[in-house]
A and B are shown apart, each in its own frame.
Chain A
Amino acid sequence: MTRPEFLGRDSRARQGGVARLLRDLGDARAPGTIFPAVLERLGLGDAYGRLDTPIGPVFVAYNAHGVSAVRPGGSAKEFEAAFRTRFGRPIRRAGGLPAALAGRLGRAFRGTGRPSVHFDLRSVSEFERAVLRKALSIPRGEVRPYGWIAREIGRPAAARAVGTALARNPIPLLIPCHRVVRNDGRVGGYLFGPEFKRRVLADEGVDVEALEARAHAGTQYYGSDTTRIYCFPTCRNARRISPAHRVSFRSAAEARGAGYRPCAVCRPSLAS
């Protein structure tokens, strides 16, 4: 009966063998339950609930930082799967949304009161965050082109990247990427399809048909011949112009050429 080598006569060598064997005991993998359980116990994990909104049922995920994900329609299972794929974090269904959050979300979706929802945007890049913040500044019932966001965040050549960033918006509807349209004025694509985008915009009070008609006619801006100011057509100042005093422009250059200056509210181009 031979002894295993490490159990040799030399005590020092034997201890070395034991030490080597002990190292093997250290390769434990924590069970996958620890991470979600810890976050959960600390209130740092994500939970989600379903909310009825004017545009139908919406799933909303949230954590200690704020709202982390939004997705309209579909099943709870689909929402969970999409969340895990996107964020790599566990998520659990809340019995019901916390009352305070539900109230704030309800107001945000209806567009009443001051928006007071916090967002968890840790997963997006700095550029994406700038794009989403800018989109957040577009008032309900109005739209702005991709190029406007690009220029406003100081990246005038990045209109395409703006489109990509908006398509990755983790919190659609609450961060209104649907209020950003093509540079030619057409409604353009959307995460959940162009039809859904029209529906959401119409629900917010945008005259989508008029939008498309202007795009077709090549009208980019409206000016008022009394104030000599030009705006994006959905700007609240543009909507106040009576048809008798309304002038259409196909470009900012044309408006400036006619002696008009850009509106300070919707900032159709940099003030000159």
Chain B
Amino acid sequence: MGQVFRRIAARDEILAAGLAADLNGSFERLVLAYQDRLYGFALRLAGNRQDAEDITQDAFVRAYHALQAYPAARRRALAVRPWLYRIALNLSRNRRRGKRPPIASLDPEGEGAGPDVPDVDVGRLPEPAFDRAELRRALAALVGALPPRYRVPVILRHVQGIAYREIASILGLPIGTVKGNVHRGLRLLEEDLARQHDITSGRRGDRAQAGRVMHR
């Protein structure tokens, strides 16, 4: 893990140096390096592909304009990754204002038809009613239904795999608060999943309702 982070840090340093020296020439590389991660983040924040794509596009456009205004020294010193996440997060928050809080749908259209990873770590799932793809969809919906306070740090920590220290800097919160919110979010998810599993096993075919377990 540490090695991966060091590699990313080294890559980001090169990116930042490029952005400082030649913004127009280097910006393409920034987009290529981060579009998958930002889109993945936005998809979990927004809950649907269209909004996720809009947020990702807007984030890069906003990042470019910000970089244009920064002096070269500031661009060179930029911590690229948390900075980009912060921009995407702000965009998704602004976008949500005036909209109803999204109750992530279980509509399979909203979900990436991601590659089917062989069941290794999850192990035996004897219930045919609850296979891995369904589990994935159900979990995505539950993540979307978490209150933002928990949802955002859970996504950053466990979906995006970002270290607590960096999450704290993205969110502008003390690291202890972040850890607490991540744990609380995970516990909520775990309870929801268990509850949903019980509902599903008891009353098959009523998954839409199961997906709408809300937190007060």
Query: Using a CB–CB distance below 8 Å, which chain A residues touch chain B?
Result: 1-7, 11, 14-15, 17-31, 33-35, 37-39, 41-42, 44, 64-65, 89, 122
Residue among B27, B57, B201 with the most chain A CB within 10 A? B57
Query: Residue on A with the closest CB to B120?
Result: A20
Query: B211: shortest Cβ distance to chain A, in Å?
Result: 15
- A-B residue pairs, 7 tightest by C-beta: A28-B40, A30-B39, A30-B35, A22-B158, A26-B159, A38-B60, A15-B186
Query: Using Cβ atoms and an 8 Å threshold, which residues of chain A touch B201?
Result: 1
Q: Which of B81-89, B132-140, B163-171 is the interface stretch?
A: B132-140
Query: Using Cβ atoms and an 8 Å threshold, which residues of chain A touch B32?
Result: 35
Does residue B189 face the partner (Cβ distance < 8 Å to A)? yes
Query: Residue on A with the closest CB to B197?
Result: A7
**Contact code string B120-161 (vs A, CB < 8 Å = 1, else 0):** 011111110010000110011001000000000010001111
Q: A4-B126, A4-B127 are in contact. Are A33 and B143 (CB under 8 A)?
A: no
Query: Using Cβ atoms and an 8 Å threshold, which residues of chain B touch A22?
Result: 139, 143, 154, 158-159, 189
Contacting pair B114 A34 (CB below 8 A) = no
Query: Using Cβ atoms and an 8 Å threshold, which residues of chain A touch B53?
Result: 30-31, 33-34
Contacting pair A21 B139 (CB below 8 A) = yes
Contacting pair B197 A23 (CB below 8 A) = no
Query: Residue on B with the closest CB to A24?
Result: B136
Q: A14-B194, A18-B190, A31-B53 are in contact. Are A4 and B36 (CB under 8 A)?
A: no
How many B residues, CB 8 Å from partner?
Answer: 52
Query: B63: shortest Cβ distance to chain A, in Å?
Result: 9
- With A26-B161, A27-B115, A42-B27 already in contact, 14 other A-B pairs whose C-beta atoms are closer than 8 Å: A4-B135, A5-B123, A11-B190, A15-B187, A17-B122, A21-B122, A21-B135, A21-B136, A22-B139, A23-B161, A30-B36, A30-B39, A41-B57, A44-B27
Does residue B48 face the partner (Cβ distance < 8 Å to A)? no
Query: Using Cβ atoms and an 8 Å threshold, which residues of chain A touch B193?
Result: 7, 18
Does residue B49 face the partner (Cβ distance < 8 Å to A)? yes
Query: Using Cβ atoms and an 8 Å threshold, which residues of chain B touch A26?
Result: 40, 44, 159-161
